[in-house]
Chains A and B, each alone.
Chain A
Amino acid sequence: MATLNVLFAVCLGYVALLFAVAFAADRVAMRGRSTWLRSPLIYTLSLSIYCTAWTFYGAVGYAVRSGLEFVTIYLGPTLVMVGWWWGLRKLVRIGRSQRVTSIADLISSRYGKSNTLAICVTLLAVIGVTPYIALQLQSITLSFSIFAEADTDSAFNPDASVVWVATGLAIFAILFGTRNLDANERHHGVVTAIALEAVVKLVALLAVGVFVVWGLSGGVAGVMERIDASDIGLWQVDRSRWAAITFLAAAAFVCLPRMFQVMVVENDDERHLRTAAWAFPLYLLLMSLFVVPIAAVGLEMMPTGSNPDLFVLTVPLASGRDGLAMLSFIGGFSSATSMVIVAAMALSTMVSNHVVMPIWLSYRGSGAAQSGDVRKVILLARRVSIGAVMALGCVYYQLSGGGSALASIGLIAFVGIAQILPALVGGLFWRGATRMGALAGLSLGFAVWVWAMLLPGLGGGILSAPVMAHGPFGILWLRPQALFGIAGLDPIVHAVVWSFLLNTIAFVAVSLLTFPNPVERLQGAQFVNVFEHSAGPRGWTGSVAQTEDLMVMTQRILGAEDARALFRREAELQGGRGLLPDPTPEFLERLERQLAGSVGAATAHAMVGQIVGGSSVSVQDLLAVADESAQMLEYSSRLEAQSAELSRTARKLQEANEKLTQISAQKDSFLSQVSHELRTPMTSIRAFSEILRDADTLNPEEKRRYANIIHDEALRLTRLLNDLLDLSVLESGQVSLNMRHGTLGDLLDHAVSAALAGYERPLRVVRNRADETLHLYSDLDRLSQVFINLIANAQKYCDATAPELTISVHLSGGVLVVDFIDNGSGIPVRAQELVFEKFARVSVEKAGGAGLGLAICREIMMRLGGDVTYLQGAGGGAFRVTLPVAREMAAQ
């Protein structure tokens, strides 16, 4: 008889072996000589943590109770591996490209790095996995107690053993699961140890199977007879249960945190999936090969009432094969420990990254980069989490009383965990899936699971019999096992159908109804199209992050060495000379992923966000950015407009300035001219008045002559002043026109006589009176003033020996044209416009005028709506007066 002490010794020895293997594997991996560690075989074997103590021991019990239905547990994963290989590949690719640390991280990352979702999934995982861990602990103590029963010498305390086992596993998980932080470096030690355990449990189960078939039943034929003779209802197939449980197993295979850990997080090379796709189903086949024979033989051999869940152990024991029993025990122990270790690691990663770190970060505020060693905090959080998960398992074990069938707990946990499936698959293949949809689906599925499965399944009267029978508060359609009034279904099928149906409907419906935020959409595209762009840009856009701050933060998470190496590598990639790279979006992207490997996507995003500014890119942030850039655009276009306006204004100002300068020069010139024109007559007046005053010797003739000069110059001054005033009034526009009726002929008669009066020099005026019958309505005085001026000019300046002025009149399109052309030499071309300027005098000879006459004429004609211009090519001096006349007048 094997004593319990020997069992303990073997157990400790086996654990020591696991530690040694894990340690060695870690060493090898660290030295980089780890090619065999990264073989697809190790990967495939590590997947075998799917086969827990529940599968190792429980499958036989399952077969005893439900016949071949236990096959569904193996069928589900097999179908996934064979039929959904491509889906897993996508999952692994995403997991690697996004540096996903856990299933919660994956879901959170997919749905806009939402920590709410991460927390939900973490909670679900903890609630779903804790019973599972308890189950493993129970299996270990149960198997211990089997040996204890055989060994009457010892006083075995199952409760104490659970604590010891849990403590040992926690230490293992902490030692090998939290040595380093970057999940990318992977836990080679743990994975190798698990692979070893996978071999051990397979060998143990096969050994027991071989013993049962060939040792006890005398071969395949014998065992087949025994099976036929047993009570096992092999072919009592409940199709709905088969379908439901196969689906559940498949879903759990993908969604279980520990499966995700080994399949995605610990995956070294997605090509390993190729091998696993056939090797893992083969492993499962081998694991299930002897389940029915052991069940049949156990039923036959063991006394009625013995626990069929332990036939794997009790049959060899009962046959006196202590060695085989010991091997079987180690196999079961392996199954339980490997599952507990990986589950604890996976859960602790989720808890520390999605619960502890966010709380710590918000507690520490924005000082994440500046204070404390984040690395230490994370590691501590993970270690504490592992301890907590183990403790939770122990507590659950104590509470559940260690009884009831193992398989039912396993199935309940499966249904709970599988609630993640819709969000997961939807996230991988449907870009329209949103965070709100995922939250809604998860919550509803979770609620249905708790109500319809977890609470009733826990037993112990948590739900009272009346509630079970009539629903809460008598609401029949809320009966836990007959939701919506559909009774009569198998409880598992019922729970699976309703939870998944409502979960999926809520997920799809809410996804359709809600709008994904920008990060969600980016991540959605990244996930769904992972094969098109595994390293595409996402998240951070142009920022002014302080690289030093990022460096400090990264050092605290990855350690100084790795952080420096990372930053140096990035700086080289950017082609920079320094050690620090520029905070380009690409660099921030990679850095975030690197950090995500240690602290999870949401936390990494938050940490980088704290430094980069804007702790997360929410819709509001992006909208704000968009708003800002829109404002900037608007502002810049406004600036552009302003600058165009400014340059226009500047040009106008320059023009105005030039004009002013010109006007100022004109004014100076005008004042100078006025001064000259005033001072000249005044000089004569003063000189002669002084002569008259001072000289006593003047004769009367001289006196009269000088007095006449004074008189003429005084008149000249008066004329000049009159002209200046006239011009100033005309120019200022304050002139009021005195409109009168008259005929052109009369006007010209008056002008000619007025102009020629007082001049002795003869000027012949030639007119055609027939043309001058035109009736006018205008300021006739002003018009006459113009005519007089032009005729007087001819009188003064025409240099012909027999001066002659021709005045011709004609109408041209409603405009009266009067030309004054003399037979002199005319005005030189360069001076033709100049004559209309003030004080312009062309001729050398003085003619008494101040040079304002033509300027006044032009001002007058402008006021009357016409003009006076010099007429070129007319022979002599020639001026043309134009004046618009009304049509009816022109007709006369």
Chain B
Amino acid sequence: MSNRHVLLIEDEPNIIEAIRFLLTREGWKVEAHSNGADAVEVVRHLRPDLVILDMMLPGKSGMDILRELRAIADLANLPVLMLTARGQMRDRDMAEKAGVSRFMTKPFSNAEVVTAVRDLVAQASRP
């Protein structure tokens, strides 16, 4: 399967390890990147099937990265699952306006993340 490639943009090592474990177990190929500043370039280069994006990143915020991704023509429909630890409603609104595919608050349930990734990629691969 070509379309089981997930890019995880997250700066917290333990969370990277947990998500990597969960998705790898389900058959996803997971790559992690922990700096916000060059995240967009990494996405363009790797062309993952889905991006898991943390809100608070060193270098550039997850919100800004999302906006930049959506501004790129062939990345407009890329599924983006956003994770945040700030837990503010305002952030959810802003993310939805910016074109997020799914918005989840930390701490999350493992099953929820796995299901969300599967659903989002399935939706995106439909014609």
Cβ of B2 within 8 Å of any chain A Cβ, yes or no, is no
Chain A residues near B13 (CB-CB < 8 A): 846
Which of these binds chain A: B42-50, B61-69, B101-109? Answer: B101-109
Chain A residues near B25 (CB-CB < 8 A): 695
Instruction: Name A684's contact: one of B14, B58, B59, B105 (CB within 8 Å).
Output: B14
> Do A680 and B85 touch across chains, with their CB atoms under 8 A apart?
yes
Chain A residues near B18 (CB-CB < 8 A): 683-684, 687-688, 691
Residue on B nearest A687 in the bound complex, by CB: B18
> Do B106 and A709 touch across chains, with their CB atoms under 8 A apart?
no
Cβ of A686 within 8 Å of any chain B Cβ, yes or no, is yes
CB distance from A149 to the nearest CB of B (A): 133
Residue on B nearest A693 in the bound complex, by CB: B110
DSSP majority for the B interface?
A: loop
Which of these binds chain B: A275-283, A309-317, A498-506, A671-679? Answer: A671-679
Residue on A nearest B36 in the bound complex, by CB: A844
Cβ of B115 within 8 Å of any chain A Cβ, yes or no, is no
Cβ of B86 within 8 Å of any chain A Cβ, yes or no, is yes
Instruction: Name B86's contact: one of A675, A712, A713 (CB within 8 Å).
Output: A675
- Give residues of chain A (486-501) contacting chain B, Cβ–Cβ below 8 Å: none
Cβ of A561 within 8 Å of any chain B Cβ, yes or no, is no
Q: A675-B85, A676-B56, A844-B59 are in contact. Are A686 and B107 (CB under 8 A)?
A: yes
Cα A694 to Cα B109 in complex, Å, equals: 12
Chain B residues near A845 (CB-CB < 8 A): 58
Residue on A nearest B110 in the bound complex, by CB: A690
Instruction: Name B107's contact: one of A672, A683, A694, A712 (CB within 8 Å).
Output: A683
Cβ of A444 within 8 Å of any chain B Cβ, yes or no, is no
> Do A680 and B110 touch across chains, with their CB atoms under 8 A apart?
no
Cα A684 to Cα B13 in complex, Å, equals: 9
CB distance from A846 to the nearest CB of B (A): 7
CB distance from A792 to the nearest CB of B (A): 20
Cβ of B32 within 8 Å of any chain A Cβ, yes or no, is no
Cβ of A685 within 8 Å of any chain B Cβ, yes or no, is yes
> Do A713 and B87 touch across chains, with their CB atoms under 8 A apart?
no
Chain A residues near B107 (CB-CB < 8 A): 679, 682-683, 685-687
Chain A residues near B110 (CB-CB < 8 A): 687, 690-691, 694
Residue on A nearest B25 in the bound complex, by CB: A695
> Do B86 and A846 touch across chains, with their CB atoms under 8 A apart?
no
DSSP majority for the A interface?
A: helix
CB distance from B64 to the nearest CB of A (A): 16
CB distance from A674 to the nearest CB of B (A): 10
Which range holds the interface residue count of chain B? 20 to 34
Chain B 60-98 per-residue mask, 1 if CB under 8 angstroms from chain A, else 0 = 000000000000000000000000011110000000000
- Give residues of chain B (5-36) contacting chain A, Cβ–Cβ below 8 Å: 11-15, 17-19, 21-22, 25, 35
Residue on A nearest B59 in the bound complex, by CB: A844
> Do B108 and A846 touch across chains, with their CB atoms under 8 A apart?
no
Cα A679 to Cα B56 in complex, Å, equals: 12
Instruction: Name A676's contact: one of B15, B22, B35, B85 (CB within 8 Å).
Output: B85
How many residues of chain A are within 8 Å of chain B by beta carbon? 23
CB distance from A173 to the nearest CB of B (A): 104
Cα A680 to Cα B105 in complex, Å, equals: 10
CB distance from A713 to the nearest CB of B (A): 6
CB distance from B11 to the nearest CB of A (A): 7
Instruction: Name A672's contact: one of B22, B59, B88 (CB within 8 Å).
Output: B88
Chain B residues near A676 (CB-CB < 8 A): 56, 85-86
Cα A760 to Cα B5 in complex, Å, equals: 37
CB distance from B98 to the nearest CB of A (A): 18
Residue on B nearest A713 in the bound complex, by CB: B14
Residue on A nearest B12 in the bound complex, by CB: A680
CB distance from A668 to the nearest CB of B (A): 8
> Do B108 and A686 touch across chains, with their CB atoms under 8 A apart?
yes
Residue on B nearest A678 in the bound complex, by CB: B85
Chain A 678-712 per-residue mask, 1 if CB under 8 angstroms from chain B, else 0 = 11101111111011001100000000000001001
Residue with the greatest number of chain A CB neighbours at <10 A, chosen from B17, B85, B108: B85
> Do B85 and A684 touch across chains, with their CB atoms under 8 A apart?
no
Instruction: Name B106's contact: one of A683, A695, A713, A844 (CB within 8 Å).
Output: A683
Cα A683 to Cα B108 in complex, Å, equals: 7
CB distance from A690 to the nearest CB of B (A): 5
> Do A683 and B58 touch across chains, with their CB atoms under 8 A apart?
no
Q: A679-B107, A682-B106, A846-B12 are in contact. Are A687 and B22 (CB under 8 A)?
A: yes
CB distance from B38 to the nearest CB of A (A): 12
Cα A675 to Cα B55 in complex, Å, equals: 13
> Do A684 and B86 touch across chains, with their CB atoms under 8 A apart?
no
> Do B85 and A679 touch across chains, with their CB atoms under 8 A apart?
yes
Provide a sorted-by-A list of 10 A–B residue pairs whose CB atoms are within 8 angstroms: A672-B87, A676-B56, A680-B85, A683-B15, A683-B85, A683-B106, A683-B107, A686-B109, A687-B22, A713-B14
Q: Known pairs A679-B107, A680-B106, A687-B18; list 14 more (Cβ under 8 Å).
A: A672-B86, A672-B87, A675-B88, A676-B85, A678-B85, A679-B86, A682-B107, A687-B22, A691-B22, A694-B110, A695-B25, A709-B17, A846-B11, A846-B12
The residues of B with any CB-CB pair to A shorter than 8 Å are 11-15, 17-19, 21-22, 25, 35, 56, 58-59, 85-88, 105-110
The 7 A-B pairs at the shortest CB distance, nearest first, are namely A687-B18, A679-B85, A684-B14, A686-B107, A683-B106, A683-B107, A844-B58
